[in-house]
Amino acid sequence: MPWWSWMVIGGVLLGAELFFVEADFYLVFLGVAAILSGVLAANVPGLPIWAHWIFFAGFSIVSMVLFRRRVYAALRPQVADRKDDLIGERIHLPADLPPDAHCRVDHRGTTWNAHNVGSVAIASGARARIIGVEGITLRIEAE
């Protein structure tokens, strides 16, 4: 395989990662490995094709295992978990909700399941307080 084909493959992989595919930063390492394979092929012209592929595969795997997590974390810092910011907010219920019952409520522009975990029934139109979040279910109790 000519050295320039490795360069083209590397460029396509890098471009795919950056512009088209959300591959969680895997294609970058494959693209860099392809480009380095092209550099190796250009500098050592008598190297057999299987050696190019061994270098490409080895460098891809080693670089992903050793560096991907650190580079990914540095470029894309973690967003804080936002589910706890709902705790303590008040919501209005569209229907009566006895203890340990469920209903659907609209809150912050989306529909949630609401579970009355308190021991008191909540009347329709009354306000309830969010005390916890489990997936798409708001754990609520009467105010």
CA distance 25 to 73: 10
Which residue spans of the chain are classified as CATH 2.40.50.140? 83-142
Name the DSSP class of 78: P
pTM score over 0.75: no
pLDDT in tens, 69-84: 888 888 776 665 555 6
Q: Which two tokens stand for residue 54?
A: 């061994």
pLDDT along the chain (143 residues), means of 10: 92 89 83 96 93 96 92 73 76 90 90 92 90 90 89
What is 83-142's CATH superfamily? Nucleic acid-binding proteins (2.40.50.140)
The 3-state secondary structure of 85-115 reads: HHCCCEEECCCCECCCCEEEEEECCEEEEEE
Q: In this predicted structure, what is the pLDDT of residue 81? A: 57
